[in-house]
Amino acid sequence: MRPINLVFDLDGTLVDSAPDIHAAVVRMLADEGQAALDLALVTSFVGNGLPKLVERVIGHVGLDMAQHPRLTRATLDHYNAASSDLTRPYPGVVAVLSALQLAGHPMAVCTNKPVAPARDILRALGIERFFSVVVGGDSLPVLKPDPAPLHACIAALGGGATLYVGDSEVDAATAVAARVPFALFTQGYRKTPVADLPHDVAFSTFDALPALVAQMRPV
């Protein structure tokens, strides 16, 4: 029996990248003569891609929304210059990915982060080798929660039974739209109580994931 595909979100699921995203936003704001925002606030803006995050920052600090394209580019430039300085995999991620790879599970990353910085982070943290497919926020004309990015990952993995692993409201909505089972990592960037997010299984530490995967049966 072919092992099931595993598709992972990136930010807030595999890695805690909020500190580097926050640093890029703070640098962009400093360029504009604006005071820094705190980490918790910027983290609350994560989830719908960088342009949406910058839009939320602009709205919060009262900058001119007409400057959105320029400020998005500036934030991305700052981020690309130091995208993995503070970012770390969540505890247990590397060991669990190794075990899942040894068990034969095809694995992919499906993120709203642009694909180049996503790959840079995976490479810098030594986990790119686990993923034969990476679909980013600029890989397709649409972002999650549209199901197309997740469907693209599944197709690139060869189709078949799939579990999507994510941490947020966007990930839960993506799984529902794609009609794919969803495993919710509860220690990421979600803002909604676990009970209020649609999910098939939930886990708070990565060492629990292989057992959950083993319990699934291809359909």
Active site residues: 9
Strands 162-166 and 133-135: what pairing?
Answer: unpaired
Residue 27: count other Cβ atoms within 10 Å of its Cβ.
Answer: 17
139: which residues sit within 8 A by CB, 6+ positions away? Answer: 115, 149, 152
Residue with tokens 């629990």: 208
Determine which helix (DSSP H) or strand (DSSP E) holds 125, and give its type and residue range: none
135: which residues sit within 8 A by CB, 6+ positions away? Answer: 108, 109, 110, 111, 115, 149, 150, 152, 153, 156
Closest alpha carbon to 71 in 82, 83, 85, 60: 60
Closest alpha carbon to 180 in 194, 195, 166: 166
* Token output for 81: 């210059």
78: which residues sit within 8 A by CB, 6+ positions away? Answer: 23, 24, 27, 28
